[in-house]
Amino acid sequence: MASFHGLANPARFMRYSGAILPWVGGATVILLIIGLYLALFASPADYQQGETVRIMYVHVPAAWMGLMVYTTMAVASAVALIWKHPLADLVAKSSAPIGAGFTFVCLVTGSLWGEPMWGTWGVWDARLTSMLILLFLYLGYIALVDAFDDPTKGAKAAAILALVGFVNIPIIKFSVDWWNTLHQPASVAKMGGPSIDSAMLWPLLIMAVAFTCFYVTLMFMRVRTEIMARKLRSLRMAQAQG
C-alpha cells in the first residue's frame, strides 16, 4: 500500500518509469522478433485451416489485450474515484487509445480469418458483437474524457463510463459458453490445461507477452507525456498570473 501511494508522486513515477522503460521496450522488440519467427516459420500449419491459422498469432493476443487493457482502465478508474489517486486517471486515459487499437486489430484480423474459414467477413454472433461494443466503449471513453472544459469533470465522467462498461468484459469472455457462436470455446485458459499443441501454444504465449510489454511501454510513455503537459500548463498559468 505504501508503494501504491508512493507512485502518486509524479516525480517518483517519472523516475521509476524512466528506469523501467528501456527494459520493457527492449523486451517488446526481442519478444516480437522471436514470436513472429516462431509464428510465421517454425510453427506448423493447421490440419484443417492450413496456413491461415497463422492469423491466430496476432488475432488472439490482440483480443486478450483488448480485454486486459479495458480491465486496467476500469481498475484505474475505480482507484481514481475511490482513493483520488492523482495518476490513476492518467493511466486510464493513456490506456484507452492503446486498447482501442488492440481491439480494432482483433476485429480486422478476425474478419480476415473468418472469410476463408466461415465464408464471410463477419457475422453478428455474440463474441463478434460484444467485441465491437468494446471498441465503441473505448471510443466513447476517449471522446468523453476530453468533452469538458474542466478536466476533472471529464475524467470523472469517463471513469464512470469505464466502470459501467466493464460488464461487457465477462460477456465477451463467456459468450462462447453462453450462446451458440461460430467461435470455438477456450483452448488455452481452460480446466484440464490447454488443448492446443505446444508447437502452436508457445508462439501464441510469446506473442501475448510481447503485446503486453508493448502496451506497458506505450502506456508509460503516454503517462509521462501527460505529466509533462500538466507541468507545462501549470508553468504557463503561473506566468500568466505573475
Average pLDDT over residues 4-22: 83
Report how far residue 198's alpha carbon sits from residue 201's, in angstroms, rounded to the nearest whole number: 5
Give residue-wise pLDDT tens across range 191-214. Answer: 455 668 888 999 999 999 999 999
Distances (CA, A) of 112 to 30, 81, 91, 121: 27, 40, 32, 7
Neighbouring residues of 14: CB distance < 8 A, sequence distance ≥ 6? 224, 227
Cell of 112: 480476415
Domain coordinates in residue numbering, the chain: 17-183+195-241
Compute the half-sphere exposure of residue 185: CA atoms within 13 Å on the CB side of its CA: 8
pLDDT digits 0-9 by tens, 44-89: 988 778 888 899 999 999 999 999 999 999 999 999 999 988 899 9
Q: Are 186 and 176 in contact (CB under 8 A)?
A: yes
Q: What is the pTM of this model?
A: 0.90
pLDDT grade, residue 231 (50/70/90)?
confident
- On whether the CB atoms of residues 131 and 106 are closer than 8 A, the answer is yes
Q: What is the C-alpha separation between 119 and 117, in angstroms, rounded? A: 6
Class of domain 17-183+195-241: mainly alpha
